Amino acid sequence: MTEPHTLNSDDIRIFSGSSNPALAADIADCIGVPLSETTINRFTNDNLYVQLGQSVRSRNVFLIQSLTPPVNDHLMELLMMLDIARSASAKEVHAVIPYYSFARSDKKNEPRISITARLVADLLTTAGATHVLTMVLHSPQVHGFFSVPTDPLTSRPVFREFFERQDLSNTIVVAPDIGSAKSATRFAKDLGGLPVAAGNKERISDTQVRISGIIGAQLRGYTRALIYDDEIANGGSMLEVSRILIENGITEIQLVCTHGLFTNNALERLGAMPEITGIVTTDTIYHPPSKRHPKLHIVSVAHVFAEAIRKNYLGESIGDLFVYGQGED
């Protein structure tokens, strides 16, 4: 008989989609449960073929898949894995989605468009998810789109561990826009109460932004800055904020984000700015070692997901990991 506060490895199955098998393997290793095989192929008509390589009957199943490019393929893989697990009589089916990219589509701000974050949340439930684990949603309200229990986890502890080994004297934390100022303030508090400022940003298009100035703490007297956001995609906001900071006397900048997507050669463009000395992100999105920029630092969140999985399995509180709890992001 299993002890009440230990994991029964035979009762747990962990599978990975094709988006981030390295993180899935690290999560499984942290838990002490082997990562089961998933077979993913394509038929000649381009339809996906997915098969889970181990029995899931009457077991707790954790399916790990980040919604990274090609997003639609990775979403379809996840939906199929959920359906497979449910149809094969799994006891519980947990969708572990380190990066939920559709969280950016959280409102209807133009005519005749989809609130895709809600649509995908409904699809996950329909496919068979009984619980969702994710990390740092772009918009907090997306949490409410899910009709099954959903736990957004915080990444701040891994960043705190990374930066507490550095000299942060004369450092200011900067949010690229007012919307992310709240999370930047909590990040600054974690680092000993650093001052906080925010960019006054106007989004012109998906790839273009305009930042007209900095709001909040005065930049005078600071030489270092940590620009903190949930995600870097095209990198336009980071480049614009960095430009303004440099004009105001900042000589050393580090960029910090949970989800480092880095589209359209963003890493190269950001790394080319000499004042940007580091780009720090997590492994919610996989970056092959051969394509990593010398300034890129990746911190792992595998142990955060592993601990959340352990606590969910044992019926324990995850308040210390929860994005809106003590570890609020």
Which positions are annotated as active-site residues? 201
Please say whether the dihedral angle defined by the alpha carbons of residues 297, 299, 300 and 301, taken in this order, is positive or negative.
negative
State both tokens at 106. Answer: 């959280």
CA atoms within 13 A on the CB side of 326: 6
Count of positions (residues) in the chain: 329
CA-to-CA distance for 53 and 279, rounded, in angstroms? Answer: 37
User: Who's near 24: CB < 8 A, 6+ residues apart?
Assistant: 14, 15, 16, 35, 64
C-beta neighbour count of 322 within 10 angstroms = 17
Q: Give residue for tokens 């380190």.
A: 98
Amino acid residing at 317: S
Q: Which of 316, 301, 306 is nearest to 136 (CA)?
A: 301
User: Who's near 5: CB < 8 A, 6+ residues apart?
Assistant: 314
CA-to-CA distance for 323 and 245, rounded, in angstroms? Answer: 29
